[in-house]
Amino acid sequence: MTRNLLERAAPDPARAHGAWVYVCMSVLAGAASAGGEGWLAALFAGVAFIGVFLVASALALYPRKWKGRFLCGAGVATSALGIGLALGADPRFVVYASVAVFPAGAAVWFATRDGIQSPYALSFAVVALTVSAPAAACAGGADPTLGALLVLLLAPFFVWRTWVVQKHISTTKGLKRGDLRRAGLREAFIALLWTILSLAVVHVV
């Protein structure tokens, strides 16, 4: 079984459905939760997380066309991290961001075994991306409990929406590129609305 897993081509995390929507929404939620003067440092910390995501997705492609994405991600992560720290980001946000390694590793394992569209792979991948919310919030000086609340609000909803879309795609025949694009835009709008609602809850708490 292990040999079969290693022989399969690793899936591309950056092409997973909703990946970019969920990581961007999570970063924006974290930055908005920081509030005050820390929001900009939090935003750059979140962008650094996105850079690391690009690096990870590039490594998943190796030995296919990976170098360009790797260099781009490393450049984004390094520059955004430097700018964020210069703006006063709390360096402990790196610790929060590193938590994403565990769900990301689980997502890769399930994706390699069952395919990138498997429920477990999708679930762990989404959780890994939403870790960018507490990481960014921490960088901006927010309380750790606020970051945990963000994950509890965002991750289950994003996982559920991912399942809904995956089921729709797998059970609907004759879907065209335009249909997928419209579905993606609809899900992005739904994710935005939920993110705004989650931020309202966070600020009330």
DSSP-derived secondary structure for 11-61 = P-GGGSTTHHHHHHHHHHHHHHHH-GGGHHHHHHHHHHHHHHHHHHHHHHH
Q: What is the structure's pLDDT at 11?
A: 60
Residue 135 has a CB neighbour count (10 Å cut-off) of 28
Q: Nearest Cα to 134, choosing from 155, 150, 123?
A: 150
CA distance 199 to 189: 15
Q: How buried is residue 42: exposed, middle or buried, by Cβ count under 10 Å (0-12/13-18/19+)?
A: buried
Q: Looking at residue 1, what DSSP letter applies?
A: -
Below-70 pLDDT ranges, the chain: 1-17, 205
Q: What is residue 14's predicted lDDT score, i.e. its pLDDT? A: 67
Decide: helix, strand or coil at residue 89: coil
